[in-house]
Amino acid sequence: MGIENMKMPQLGESVTEGTISKWLVSPGDTVNKYDPIAEVQTDKVNAEVPSSFTGTIKELIAEEGDTLEVGEIICSIEIEGGASAPAEEAPKEEPKKSAEAPAAPKSKAPAKDSGNKARYSPAVLKLSQEHDIDLDQVEGTGNGGRITRKDLKKIIESGSIPKAGDAPAPKAEASAPQQAPVKETAPAQPANQAAPAANIPVVPGDIEIPVSGIRKAIASNMVRSKHEAPHAWTMMEVDVTNLVDYRNSLKTEFKQREGFNLTFFAFFVKAVAQALKEYPQINSMWAGDKIVQKKDINLSIAVATDDALYVPVIKNADEKTIKGIAREITELAGKVRSGKLTSQDMQGGTFTVNNTGSFGSVQSMGIINYPQAAILQVESIVKRPVVMNNGMIAVRDMVNLCMSLDHRVLDGLVCGRFLQRVKEILENTSKENTSVY
């Protein structure tokens, strides 16, 4: 029998870490190669991690909720064949060393954990660094004395934070266990270090919602975008009466024939893709000492769930028909809502089109999807009285197109011309001028 370690896989080219959202196995379970053993959440996707071996689950090293870097060990599997001696001998040698070194009697608890120091989860390390906790002075309650997040949270809540230079603290705990929690000088520092939590009082009835990996990724990307990219904003109103009439005349037959909906959004995405081809400057990214103008037109579309926002990509949108774009929108939205979106579905976007009108918005200022140079918000189509060219007033279907741009890359002139072109395409969309196939 031998022991093999399963590591956090890389679930995408830019993914550097993943969070164990759910274990699908327990210690003692038998698994076959490629059987799913855990659900992992990254900043891009939720995915099942398959086993790399056939054998028996020996230990779940990471806990549910732990965030680990790619390559970190998540569990160990006992398999038939292979030499397990080295793995078993290593812990035997460590106790000998610690037994032969009586100079370290002050840390019996750390000695227990010494075999597990290399297996502190990133979540434990991050929490200890945020609160300046000396892990050598913490006695873990996990398997084999491993320190868990719960152990650290109890210490933080108690206000008695063991510091690296606090050698007397463990002794005081050993000789007078009742004195450690009464340490009144320490809480001031942790309170300052955990300022966000301390500044928001939680009273009975309040609900504390843990921040998921996806929500953290959204927050990080949005802050980075607003911090780095000087946002400018412009809006243009478009008369889409002919487009609405054309789409409504097709939608029932289209659904029966194709099996999916012909949405208004597909027409907007197609118009944007066509305009980007004519104004490639918009399809660019800021790269510090240069601007990269992308060859492919890959449109990111925002798809929301109850608690997160995903931005899958329609690749080469300029080469697709309205029908093809409508199909991809349906498929990508379905993947998001069923949790089957892959990292490949999220990569390569060059410009974002956001369907904010789907929930009734008529005007909004989007945050640019970093590192892209612009985002277009397609607002709700509403009927409004409009003064026509002949001076008459008519009820027309109108929509606002709201564009946020990175002013390092783009100026108002090119963005204005781009929006004018999108407007022109949409206002000329009709049965006579446009084919969805």
Mention every residue, 6+ apart, whose C-beta is less than 8 A from residue 254. 261, 262, 323, 436
56 vs 75: CA distance, rounded Å: 11
296 vs 280: CA distance, rounded Å: 10
* Beta carbons of 179 and 155 less than 8 angstroms apart: no
Q: DSSP string spanning 211-240?
A: PPHHHHHHHHHHHHHHHHS-EEEEEEEEE-
* Alpha helix positions (H), 116-240: 122-130, 149-158, 168-175, 188-193, 195-198, 213-228
What Å distances lie between residue 166 and 7, 30, 94, 126, 173, CA to CA?
A: 35, 45, 25, 20, 12
* Beta carbons of 124 and 135 less than 8 angstroms apart: yes
271 vs 277: CA distance, rounded Å: 10
Q: What number of residues does the chain have?
A: 437
Strand partners, 39: 22, 48
11 vs 20: CA distance, rounded Å: 13
Q: Is 407 marked active-site?
A: yes
Number of Cβ within a 10 Å radius of residue 328: 21
Q: Is 411 marked active-site?
A: yes
Q: Which of 113, 151, 239, 407 is catalytic?
A: 407
Active site residues: 407, 411
